[in-house]
Amino acid sequence: MSKLEFKIVEIPEGESRRTVGLSDEDLDLSPHAFKGGEVDLSFYRTLHFIRVNFHVDADVELVCDRSLESYVQPIASDYEVLFKVDVQEETENEDGAIRRFNFSSNTLSVEEEVRDTIMLNVPIKKLHPKFLDADGNPREFETKKFGDVQEETEQVDPRWEKLKKLKN
């Protein structure tokens, strides 16, 4: 049983809270490396549904697109999952999801939602913090030249010169 899987009978009626610490092995974020984190869960249980709100604070090891150096990116995000008895079709959007109860195991799992929430907050352009200024904006990229740089003289093809003379 996963750390993010809970037995329905152990969730008390009304509101309750739990905090789950996650280690490197608890989530698979391929192709990125999960470096651990913490999930704060807030449950609200009634006879007809269980609402789970969670806040994730996690660290993910990424590779910088500019320098190919590894760095750890902190990620924080919130999400809500509503588990209902009479759901015909499961739905989800960027703010939350509606899921069916799993009556066969009497458990509910938010592992997939936690994983997806972290993955959706991984930046598209991965930039090592050393390339960011104090405001978090990318600094100008510096180009370096190695060896002697010779100015290229623009040579015109002699055939073009003859064609220009014919035109005049």
pLDDT tens across 43-88, in order? 999 888 899 999 999 999 999 998 899 999 999 999 999 998 888 8
What is the pTM for the complete model shown?
A: 0.75
- 3 state SS of 30: coil
Q: Is residue 87 part of a domain?
A: yes
Distance (Å) of CA 117 to CA 4, 36, 66: 14, 14, 25
Structural domains of the chain, count: 1
Q: Is residue 167 part of a domain?
A: no
| 27 CA to centre of own chain | 13
Q: Is residue 50 part of a domain?
A: yes
User: What is the residue whose two structure tokens read 């930039």?
Assistant: 127
- 3 state SS of 124: coil
Mean pLDDT of 123-149: 81
Q: Is residue 163 part of a domain?
A: no
**What is the chain's mean pLDDT, rounded?**
87
pLDDT at 141 > cutoff 80? no
Q: Is residue 154 part of a domain?
A: no
Q: Is residue 165 part of a domain?
A: no
CB-count burial class (<10 Å; 0-12, 13-18, 19+) for 2: middle
Q: Is residue 114 part of a domain?
A: yes
Q: Is residue 117 part of a domain?
A: yes
Q: Which domain holds residue 30?
A: 5-131
